Amino acid sequence: MSQSKLEQLKNMTDVVADTGDIEAIAKYQPQDATTNPSLVYKAAQLAQYQDLVKEAVAMHQDPKQAADYLAVALGKEIVKLVPGRISTEVDARLSFDREATINKARQLIEQYAKFDVEPNRVLIKIASTWEGIQAAKQLESEGIQCNLTLLFSFAQARACADAGVTLISPFVGRILDWYKQQQPDQDFSGANDPGVQSVSRIYNYYKQHSYDTIVMGASFRNTQEIEELAGCDRLTISPALLESLSNDHSALERRLINDASTQEKEAALSEAQFRFESNQDAMATEKLAEGIRNFIIDQEKLEAMLAQQ
């Protein structure tokens, strides 16, 4: 039998599981795995993770500390199943506080160390606000590698590259959602997908300017978006879409290619330039704010659930 599209994709792109479901990770064997407050909250409600929930509550009476413990305990189990790294997110309520983000990231790394998980197996996920990016710059200088998430704009991507972050997670599907709402009659299929276009632009810019930051497309709505980004450094994919790719045995064409051309790097964006360019991008401004709010909602739901325990 010919290779599935998932197998073909793995030949050109590092596949990451966008889930906290250990069983799904074991099934699809991704390179890395990534979680967020929404995924941890979802996992905490499943029967197979109740021992971890009880352990978190027993270790910490403070729901915030218990939530951090649970996220790391879940990550500790996941990292046993992947050859690469687990991404664990900083509390989204700290998205506009550089120092608090730095301190929380250090605490998460310290917690992983207590589980004998080395820092090189962990990526700290931080929202791509100006403060978050500057926090990541400091953390990277300390050897704490970061995954900058909720990334919707080219300005965010440029600032992350300037900061030397390890990896960015530009969101494809949420960009598409915004444009479909604004222009419901427009054809956004295939290469017309604005989320696909955004990630393709970022990928090409990074390669042309020799940035080391890894581009990991995220937040997919369908397999077509994934196929249009085949060849991207990494793609983080939900179990449902991994299943669809594994059941499809038609040919997959590589779309993104590192042409190894080099251009002189542009001057780093100043804070004023970053904020101005972000302000001019209505989609990115709205989706970043919405993403932070939604992560906070699920973080607070998780903490409330732990408090009831």
Catalytic annotation, residues: 125
Instruction: Give me the helix-helix angle, 154-163 and 271-280, nearest 10°.
Output: 160
122 and 145 Cβ atoms separated by less than 8 Å? yes
CA 285 to chain centre: 18
CA 185 to chain centre: 30
Burial class (CB in 10 A: 0-12, 13-18, 19+), 263: exposed
The helix/strand/coil state of 123 is: strand
Record the tokens describing residue 179, joined without a space. Answer: 């444009």
The helix/strand/coil state of 132 is: helix
Residue spans of alpha helices (H) in 34-188: 37-44, 50-59, 63-79, 98-114, 130-141, 154-163, 173-182
Q: Which of 220, 230, 219, 199 minimizes the C-alpha distance to 5?
A: 230
